[in-house]
A = this chain, B = another copy of it.
Amino acid sequence: MKKTIFLYGIALAVLLGLLKAIEYRFWVRDLSMEVYVTIVALFFSALGIWAGLRLTKARTSIPASLQFDSPTPFEVNPILLEKYKLSKREYEVLTLIAAGYSNQEIAERLFVSLNTIKTHSSNLFIKLDVKRRTQAVQKAKELGLL
């Protein structure tokens, strides 16, 4: 998260510098304020979307009813999750694996690196005592985790 904020700051600083340079060297006051504002607005909208996704990535994939800290007493899953000691992230990865996504796609969807997904899935397989993703899906469905 710190990295995200840092990158955001960098991007902001860079744009400010760029605008200032442009202002003094080329356009000065040739461009209308509307054009100017629009450029800045579009850029920071994109930046804001990106930053927003980064900052909230942890809470974007698990249905609200499955959130651990939520008071909803939704039956099986939390109990079995506790029994098999799957972390939130591992459970997320498990559901995406079951949905047929590749590790790369999962990584992109969760905004983390491929290596991270590999780590999660490996730990997942150990905890479920399986060797392959297809077995994990199979076993998870037997256990009612999915």
Q: Which residues of A contact B (CB under 8 A)?
A: 8, 12, 15-16, 19-20, 23, 33-34, 37-38, 40-53, 55-57, 60-66, 95-102, 109, 130, 132-139
Contacts and interface: CB of A to CB of B under 8 A. Distances in A.
Give the interface SS of chain A, mostly helix, strand, loop or mixed: helix
A37 B19 contact: yes
Nearest to A29: B29
A46 B5 CA distance: 13
Contact of A99 (B51, B56, B63, B98): B63
24 contacts: A12-B41, A16-B37, A19-B37, A37-B40, A43-B44, A44-B45, A44-B48, A45-B47, A48-B51, A49-B49, A49-B51, A49-B55, A53-B56, A60-B60, A62-B63, A63-B101, A65-B99, A66-B95, A98-B138, A100-B130, A100-B135, A101-B134, A133-B134, A134-B134
